[in-house]
Amino acid sequence: MSILLGCIADDFTGATDLASMLVHAGMRTVQTIGILKEPVPPGTDAVVIALKSRTIPADQAVAESLAALQWLRAAGCRQTYFKYCSTFDSTDKGNIGPVAEALMAALDTPFTIACPAFPENKRTIFKGHLFVGDTLLAESSMRNHPLTPMHDSNLQRVLQRQTAKTVGLIEHSTVAAGTQAIQERIESLKAEGVGMAIVDAISNDDLLQIGAACADLPLITAGSGIALGLPQNFRAQGLLDVQDAARDLPQTQGLQAIVCGSCSQATQAQLADAVARGTPAYAIDPMRLAANEDLVSQAMAWATPLLNQGPVIVYATASPDRVKAAQEKLGVERAGALVEEALAEIARRLVQAGVRQLIVAGGETSGAVVTALDVRSLRIGPTIDPGVPWTVSLGATPIALALKSGNFGATDFFTKAWSLLP
Ligand code: ADP
């Protein structure tokens, strides 16, 4: 059976967020890092292509998104989903409007919705205005975002500045009236020549109704919330019969390790907790790396005899004072790069030594490790803590990877995670 849902996400963590949502709703989902050359394995219901297109020039974002669409269409996808941030991160130049418009043209469809709402994460839309918690978007911390400052909470206006299409609104009174009312409103907007419509949503039930109403739209543009309501459409058509997409992961057998490059408060607490429970841990000091000490070999010599007894941790995690001291001596970028390079090489050698279950803490650190391991695609599995699923890399040597960005995860993350592997 071909892939049902093809998704194009404008950044990596957003892609994981969407993929987790789809898995939760019952679709076997693969996340790819950029556009693959090869097809994904049979038995994949949804593919999420992670691009880095949120803040690049609009013409580049359009070109990359169209290339992703081409791959998804070749894979036989029935519906396309353009995923952006739930705070609608974009500038007046794009990239949401230009990418949505280009995808509409390529799919030859006159209409799509735009709905970043994710009520569970406190992103709601009412009368076209986006709220972050109790605060309007333009009054939230997003107004100071370094790359995509959001100064207007009215998404109809925000999107209208980014596209030549007419942008309309599907108000909450319509959404609350249910699937059929939403579909009728879509038809009347189309008849008026409206090309895109912001859709109000303030609850999970709203998302489910909107999802059902979008069953026949070739293109959906949204945050990850709308994904809640899409698998039901495929199930209703008899195209999806998986019971537990999260646990239906390729098995990995092997040694366990944790590589920790995040210095966030959450990671510091998680590291301290794991050490207190007896997990052996080895520290990497950027000052010693800068002095050309071969800490990679030293860490491996330390880890190798311990690996058979259980998970080990290699970490660069340090207190803010120590990080600051290293940064003052080496420069912020050099300190970061030295640590990332060392941890990525350690991860590669740990895998060579037989590690097949690996937790990585830190967003940038995860990027460096995934590159060093030459991981191009991931099957998404069960959620460990919100925003962090277990994944299994696809390829010659499947490795279970939990890629945790800094502040995510409960204090017992480094011990709890192992028990959640299928
Ligand atoms: P997070 O997700 O918490 O932001 P990242 O991995 O994205 O974590 O970023 C942490 C950055 O800090 C990385 O570039 C890492 O190499 C760097 N780093 C880690 N430990 C140290 C340290 N002891 N001194 C200086 N920089 C460090």
What pLDDT is stored for residue 407 in this prediction? 81
> How many Å lie between the centroid of ligand 1 and the Cα of residue 327?
11
The CATH class that applies to domain 5-236 reads: alpha beta
* Dist. CA 369–CA 259, nearest whole Å: 9
Highest mean pLDDT: which range of 247-256, 291-300, 388-397: 291-300
Closest by CA position to 394, among listed 41, 72, 1? 41
Centre of ligand 1 from the C-alpha of residue 63, in Å: 32
Residue 8: what pLDDT?
98
Q: What does the pLDDT read at residue 218?
A: 98
Q: Return the sign of the alpha-carbon dihedral for residues 275, 378, 261, 121.
A: negative
- Provide CATH 3.40.980.20 ranges for the chain: 255-419
Q: Predicted confidence band at 236 (pLDDT cuts at 50, 70, 90)? A: very high
Beta bridge partners of 107: none
Question: What local confidence, expressed as pLDDT, does residue 364 receive?
Answer: 87
Question: How far apart are the C-alpha atoms of 320 and 316, rounded to whole Å?
Answer: 12
Q: Determine the pLDDT at residue 350.
A: 98
pLDDT computed for residue 390 by the predictor: 96
Output the CA torsion sign for 176, 179, 180, 186.
positive
- Over residues 105-134, the mean pLDDT reads 96
Burial class (CB in 10 A: 0-12, 13-18, 19+), 243: exposed
Q: 364-389: per-residue pLDDT in tens? A: 899 899 999 999 999 999 999 988 99
Ligand 1: centre distance to CA 337 (Å) = 9
Beta-bridged to residue 283, according to DSSP, are 315
Say yes or no to pLDDT of 313 above 70: yes
3-state secondary structure of 390: strand
- Do 383 and 22 touch, CB atoms closer than 8 A? no
The residue whose CA is least distant from atom 13 of ligand 1 is 336
Mean pLDDT of 219-238: 95
* Structure-token match 């949503």, residue found: 201
Say if residue 261's pLDDT is above 70: yes
In which residue ranges of the chain is CATH 3.40.50.10840 found? 5-236
Ligand 1: nearest atom to the Cα of 323: 24
Question: Coil, helix or strand for 272?
Answer: helix
Helix, strand, coil content of the chain in percent (nearest 5): 40, 20, 35
Maximum average pLDDT range among 144-148, 179-183, 393-397: 179-183
Mutate to test the pocket of ligand 1, among 11, 13, 16, 263 (most ligand atoms within 8 A of CB): 263
* Amino acid 181: pLDDT: 98
**DSSP secondary structure letter of residue 310:** S
For residues 419 and 422, the model is more confident at 419
Q: Is 409 in the pocket of ligand 1 (CB under 6 A)?
A: no
Across the chain, mean pLDDT equals: 95
Does the pLDDT at position 292 exceed 70? yes
Average pLDDT over residues 356-361: 97
What is the CATH T-level fold of the domain 255-419, as seen in this structure?
Molybdenum Cofactor Biosythetic Enzyme; Chain A (3.40.980)
Rounded distance between C-alpha atoms, residue 78 and residue 101, angstroms: 19
Cα–Cα dist 149/399, whole Å = 38
CA distances to 55, 119, 169, 186, 284 from 175, in Å: 31, 14, 11, 11, 53
Residues 6+ apart with CB under 8 A from 277: 415
Identify whether the C-beta of residue 151 lies closer than 8 Å to the C-beta of residue 143.
yes
Q: Does position 13 have pLDDT exceeding 90, yes or no?
A: no
178 token code pair: 């249910």
Report the pLDDT value the prediction gives residue 1, as an integer from 0 to 100. 59
Q: Is it true that the peptide bond before 95 is cis, omega within 30 degrees of 0?
A: yes
Q: What pLDDT is attached to residue 352?
A: 97
269-289 residue pLDDT tens: 999 999 999 999 999 999 999
* pLDDT level of residue 242 (50, 70, 90 thresholds): confident
CA dihedral 175, 205, 237, 191 (to 10 degrees): 10
Under the banding of pLDDT at 50, 70 and 90, the label for residue 309 is very high
Distances (CA, A) of 272 to 84, 173, 315, 319: 35, 50, 11, 12
Q: Measured between alpha carbons, how far is 155 from 396 in angstroms, rounded to an integer?
A: 45
**Per-residue CA distances from 405 to 62, 136, 240, 249, 263 (Å):** 27, 26, 31, 22, 10
Indicate whether 42 pLDDT > 70.
yes
Q: Are 403 and 380 in contact (CB under 8 A)?
A: no
Residues in a beta bridge with 377: 32
Query: pLDDT tens-digit profile of 190-207?
Result: 999 999 999 999 999 999
pLDDT band at 98 (very low <50, low <70, confident <90, very high): very high
Q: What single DSSP character describes residue 118?
A: B
Q: How far is the CA of 339 from the centre of ligand 1 (A)?
A: 7
- 53 within ligand 1 shell (Cβ under 6 A): no
| Residue 241 confidence (pLDDT) | 84
| Contact criterion met (CB below 8 Å) for 248 and 12 | no
**Is pLDDT larger for residue 311 or for residue 243?**
311
Q: Which residues of 112-145 are buried (b: 16+ CB within 10 A; e: fewer)?
A: bbbbbbbbebebbbeebbbbbeeebbbebebeee
pLDDT score recorded for residue 38: 86
- Ligand 1, atom 12, residue with closest C-alpha: 336
Pair 247, 380: CB distance under 8 Å? no
Q: Which candidate, 370, 319, 362, 324, places its Cα nearest to that of 344? A: 370
Q: What integer pLDDT is reported at residue 379 of this predicted model?
A: 95
Q: Which helix (H) or strand (E) holds 382?
A: strand 377-385
- Which pTM does this prediction carry? 0.90
Q: What is the Å distance from ligand 1's center to 172 Cα?
A: 43
Ligand 1 close to Cβ of residue 370 (< 6 A): no
Q: Say how many Å lie between the CA of residue 146 and the centre of ligand 1.
A: 19
Ligand 1 binding pocket mutation candidate from 267, 333, 338, 364 (most atoms within 8 A of CB): 364
Q: Integer distance in angstroms from the first to the last C-alpha of the chain? A: 25
